[in-house]
Structure 1
Amino acid sequence: MKKPLIIFIISALIGLGLGYLVFDVIGSDDSEPEVAVNDTNTPKPAEEETDTTGDSVAASDDNILQAKGCLGCHAVNGLNLEGGATGPDLTQSFNNVEGKHGKPLAEFLKEPTSAVMSSVISGNPLTDEEIEQIVQELQKAAE
């Protein structure tokens, strides 16, 4: 009697695990990639940002999005920042994250609900000050 029960429990756990993979990870309708790689050995080209006069200026490491590696996967067209094409454009993320992930942008950056961003953030956690800077930049992009 014990052996069939153990086999049933193990089969149920395997089935639930596969169901999670198929429906949550593989079948998710997130526009984010399944795997994000941050290659720190590859030099990044200078990014552009619009200053208050409307001219394009090179984004340097003092730009929080560049410094934290966001532009490795994401572009921010609202700030004229070119970036990677792997992740979605972040121009409207200030407005859209809460509807998509159920929490405001600052909370999402503390504890992401997407599998990809969760692994990226856990490998390189953001301080409260960095989160505030990112939120301010993305709020400017959305305006």
Structure 2
Amino acid sequence: MKNLELLNSIAYTKYSDWKGIISIDNSDLSGVQDLCTNNGISSDKYFIVGFGLGDENSRGISESKSVACIVLLLDKNKYGHSATQIMENTRDEKQINVIRKSFRVPYSDVAKSIKRFSFMALWKTRGEFPEINIIEEE
């Protein structure tokens, strides 16, 4: 993934004891877009290219009733108004500028926007583990 280093610099906690990868499916075609629109981010102005969640509560996330949503947005006037236009207009670019915005929502709002998710993180070590081979236990 071309922007993995960027994601690692954005997605972190105080100690980053665990680091990993996540995959998300919208609840419908506009799940995350609706969440953003309902929280003041114009779908006419911006195209969402990044979505994340975070919480800085030192007492643990179970103490929070809400979570911070972080979105990375492309300006549609600069890059295009559809996914196809954006891909065509950025094909030869080495770097594009995105706008980072955040807002807080109840956990239940996030749950309504996401149909499926999967994430896996590996424990942080002082060095690096050798390559891992997963053995399924029956």
The TM-score by the shorter chain falls in which range?
under 0.3
Query: If each structure's strand is expressed as a fraction of its own residues, which one has the higher value?
Result: 2
Q: TM-score, length-normalised on structure 1?
A: 0.20
Larger Rg: 1
